[in-house]
């Protein structure tokens, strides 16, 4: 898929993406912020606004192109399959712990922050309040 995105101030260029490859950027929002993208996929093409200032209720937006349509979500978990699972194994000196960090079937938030401390492993969904989830083994 070929992608071209821009705003009135920022030219993000043309990108050729492979299946499952991502293209992303960050920006400072203003009352008139507008980003558009033009997608080409074989003989199919579509140009549309991917972000306008009126989208503001969420901080992240995810677009995914599939063979039947283009989809929008404010969180990346909407695209996870029910079987999606990510795990982690952490070593801290002689301490270690293996655990699931994301399982689509049970995690209700879109962003997760994990913190390893000497007394255990903590989780937060907003990066400000952490709850201890695991002791070291």
Element (H, E) at 45: strand 44-52
Q: Is 54 helix (H, G, I), strand (E, B) or coil?
A: helix
Lowest mean pLDDT among 1-10, 107-116, 126-135: 107-116
Residue boundaries of the structural domains of the chain? 2-73, 85-134
How far CA 59 is from CA of 17, 48, 126, in Å, comes to 24, 19, 12
Beta-carbon contacts of residue 21 (< 8 Å; ≥ 6 apart): none
pTM: 0.49
Q: What does the pLDDT read at residue 7?
A: 92
Instruction: End-to-end CA distance of the chain: give it in Å, rounded.
Output: 46
At residue 15 the predicted structure's pLDDT band, cuts being 50, 70 and 90, is very high
At residue 19 the predicted structure's pLDDT band, cuts being 50, 70 and 90, is confident
Q: What does the pLDDT read at residue 33?
A: 85
* Rounded Cα distance, 137 and 118, in Å: 12
The DSSP symbol for 76 reads G
Question: How does pLDDT run across 56-82, given as a tens digit for each residue?
Answer: 555 566 666 666 666 666 555 555 555
């Amino acid at each position: 898929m070929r992608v071209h995105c821009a705003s009135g101030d920022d030219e993000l260029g043309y990108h050729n993406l492979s299946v499952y490859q991502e293209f992303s950027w960050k920006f400072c929002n203003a009352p008139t912020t507008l980003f558009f993208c033009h997608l080409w996929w074989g003989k199919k093409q579509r140009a549309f606004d991917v972000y306008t200032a009126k989208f503001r209720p969420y901080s992240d937006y995810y677009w995914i192109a599939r063979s039947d349509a283009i989809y929008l979500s404010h969180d990346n978990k909407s695209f996870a399959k029910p079987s999606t699972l990510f795990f982690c194994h952490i070593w801290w000196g002689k301490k270690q712990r293996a655990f699931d960090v994301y399982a689509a079937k049970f995690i209700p938030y879109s962003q997760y922050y994990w913190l390893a401390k000497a007394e255990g492993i903590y989780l937060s969904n907003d990066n400000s309040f952490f709850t201890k989830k695991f002791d070291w083994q």
